[in-house]
């Protein structure tokens, strides 16, 4: 979204700092809550039997696909990843100029941005492939390789940041607190309405706020085999977040 909406580097640094600090404060609270999950489930009037069912199902699935990856599978995983990215680049490099030439009015919706189409295409292809047999590569460690590249991405973004710029406008933390308060309020409200166990509340929260870096941590705090649930929800959060963030950006531009 930084590239799509041409966000100023200093402003981006400030908001990421707010995001990281506020998000990690919530993460700490959730990890504390893991030790009190039984009491919280009673408060939510939730039945934790569903968590046990998910745990057994995940354990069974992991055992059925887990294997030591060979060189061919590792090359296959990387080839799919880079291949989809290359195809997305090809489509984006052709589609963005076409829209700019024929539909210049769509520029205000960022639809003439090459980077926008690159992210949309790669996200869409990833979701589509998850319904194919390619998903079986998870047993060879596909998500672990993907996580390595996520950390490389995060490090690359971090190298462009100046965290000390947040001291120029500490009031932005108020925005962060409002954001996380609404998030928590919605979580608790929905959890009470559908009687969701605290496990799904905590992992679902971090899948939206922290992504693949923290959702598996929270899930594995309940049980190591449940880490896969955190990964899956985080990936879903990334996919939905790509479209949702663009929509939010468009709405905020219309207000301004």
Instruction: Indicate if 189 and 213 belong to the same structural domain.
Output: yes
Instruction: Indicate if 256 and 195 belong to the same structural domain.
Output: yes
Res 183: pLDDT: 92
Instruction: Indicate if 215 and 254 belong to the same structural domain.
Output: yes
Tell me, yes or no, whether 249 lies in a domain: yes
Instruction: Indicate if 42 and 110 belong to the same structural domain.
Output: no
Q: Which residue stretches of the chain have pLDDT < 70? A: 160-161, 163
pTM: predicted TM-score of the whole model, two decimal places: 0.70
Burial class (CB in 10 A: 0-12, 13-18, 19+), 89: middle
Tell me, yes or no, whether 193 lies in a domain: yes
pLDDT in tens, 6-34: 787 777 778 888 887 888 888 889 989 98
Instruction: Indicate if 50 and 104 belong to the same structural domain.
Output: no
Tell me, yes or no, whether 110 lies in a domain: yes
Res 99: pLDDT: 93
Rounded distance between C-alpha atoms, residue 223 and residue 22, angstroms: 25
Contact 251, 239 (CB under 8 A): no
Res 178: pLDDT: 92
Q: Which of 91, 125, 140 is the last residue of a domain?
A: 140
Tell me, yes or no, whether 161 lies in a domain: no
Tell me, yes or no, whether 150 lies in a domain: no
Res 91: pLDDT: 96
Nearest by Cα to 137 from 87, 186, 194, 66: 66
Tell me, yes or no, whether 151 lies in a domain: no
pLDDT in tens, 186-199: 988 999 898 889 99
* Tokens of residue 118, six digits: 């690159």
Per the structure, the count of domains in the chain is 2
For 244, the domain range is 1-66+166-256
* Tokens of residue 113, six digits: 């941005």
């Amino acid at each position: 979204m930084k590239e799509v909406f041409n966000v100023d580097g200093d402003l981006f640094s400030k908001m990421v700092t707010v995001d990281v600090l506020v998000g990690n404060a919530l993460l700490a609270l959730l990890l504390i809550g893991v030790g009190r999950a039984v009491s919280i489930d009673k408060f939510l009037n939730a039945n934790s039997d569903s968590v046990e069912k998910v745990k057994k199902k995940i354990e069974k699935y992991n055992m059925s696909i887990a294997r030591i990856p060979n060189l061919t599978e590792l090359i296959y995983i990387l080839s799919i990843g880079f291949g989809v990215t290359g195809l997305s680049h090809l489509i984006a490099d052709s589609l963005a100029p076409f829209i700019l030439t024929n539909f210049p009015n769509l520029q205000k919706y960022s639809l003439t941005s090459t980077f926008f189409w690159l992210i949309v295409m790669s996200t869409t292809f990833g979701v589509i492939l998850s319904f194919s047999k390619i998903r079986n590569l998870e047993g060879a460690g596909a998500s672990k390789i993907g996580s390595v590249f996520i950390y490389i991405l995060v490090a690359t973004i971090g190298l462009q940041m100046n965290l000390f710029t947040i001291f120029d406008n500490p009031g932005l933390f108020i925005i962060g607190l409002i954001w996380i308060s609404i998030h928590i309020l919605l979580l608790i409200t929905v959890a009470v309405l559908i009687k969701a166990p605290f496990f799904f509340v905590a992992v679902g929260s971090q899948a939206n706020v922290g992504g693949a870096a923290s959702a598996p941590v929270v899930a594995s705090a309940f049980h190591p085999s449940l880490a896969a649930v955190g990964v899956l929800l985080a990936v879903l959060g990334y996919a939905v977040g790509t479209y949702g963030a663009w929509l939010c950006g468009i709405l905020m531009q219309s207000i301004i």
